[in-house]
Copies of this chain bind each other. A is one copy, B any other.
Amino acid sequence: MKVIKTVEEMQNWSETVQLRGETVGLVPTMGYFHQGHLGLMETAKAMCDHLVVSLFVNPTQFGENEDLDAYPMDLDRDFKLAEEKGASVVFAPQREEIYPAGFQTSVALASLPLHLCGLNRPVHFGGVATVVTKLFNIVRPEVAVFGAKDFQQLQVIRQLVKDLNFNIRIVGNPIVREADGLAMSSRNVYLSPGERASGLSLSRSLELAEGLIKEGEKDAAILRAKVTDLILGFDHTAIDYVTLCDPETLADVDHVTGPVLVALAVKVGTTRLIDNRVIDPAQ
């Protein structure tokens, strides 16, 4: 497995393998791998001749008071895990390689960011859209795999690919969970034992919502209230949002008439956790 640090070397590597007719699957990450990342790698590797894992903690998707400088990192462990998953390349550039002096171009979406995490993280999805556009041009993959835990991110990237005409197949991988239901996240390492127990409030409340919707509850306000009550029944929890929305447009729904995305963001202590589930009342 090669570790590549420069844009030029990465572009040359992709061009070389693609001129041989070989395909490239990209898994963009910010590192500190857990089972969720490894699942993305397995999916990409199964679909393509080559797996390329990018590892870059993208500063432009963090807000001013967010955890950019504290974001967990363990490069040696990550390189080893990517190699075990059969990666051909880990692309791990320095910050100045991606954002050199004079950098001034950004990619933005008009409506998808105006929901869910975008409301409290106003710069986040512009940063994601810009760095993903760059990574697509640097790696030129046939396939790119993203996790469904960042559901809004996945929708933003699907729309970006469609709007900017990237000839890349976007694959969404299901959320990977701990045995007790907590969605895997690099940020889970921040949780104290007591907070770790309260982290379960997210998956539990999604199960509650699913049960209620399948029993026929259609009123989004009632569903939100019950989900909110369950979460606040755990210690250390504060709600950022509890939203029922259209899985395509992310527009809020008042009544559940078809598949609905239930999406949560909850602060547990100082750690912000997200989780979601698409629930189809007809299934």
A109 beta carbon closer than 8 Å to chain B: yes
- Are A159 and B11 in contact, with the CB atoms below 8 A? no
Q: Which of A89-121 contact B (CB under 8 A)?
A: 102-112
Chain A, 8-28, CB within 8 A of any chain B CB: 11, 15, 19, 21
Residue contact A105 to B134, C-beta cutoff 8 Å = no
A106 touches B108 (CB 8 A): yes
Answer yes or no: A137 CB below 8 A from chain B CBs.
Answer: yes
Number of copies: 2
Whether B109 pairs with A163 at a CB distance below 8 angstroms is no
Q: Does A123 contact B (CB under 8 A)?
A: no
Cβ of A65 within 8 Å of any chain B Cβ, yes or no, is: no
Residues of chain B within 8 A (CB-CB) of A138 are 165
Residue in B closest to A248 when the chains form the complex, CB atoms:
B102
Complex Cα gap A166–B110 (Å):
23
- Name A7's closest neighbour in chain B (CB-CB): B165
Of B11, B109, B137, B167, which one neighbours A104 at CB under 8 angstroms? B109
What residues on B are CB-neighbors of A19 within 8 Å?
A: 19, 21
Interface residues of A (CB under 8 A from B): 7, 11, 15, 19, 21, 102-112, 129, 133-134, 137-138, 140, 159-160, 163-167
**Which 7 pairs show the lowest CB-CB distances between chains A and B?**
A105-B163, A104-B110, A137-B165, A138-B165, A134-B165, A11-B167, A104-B109
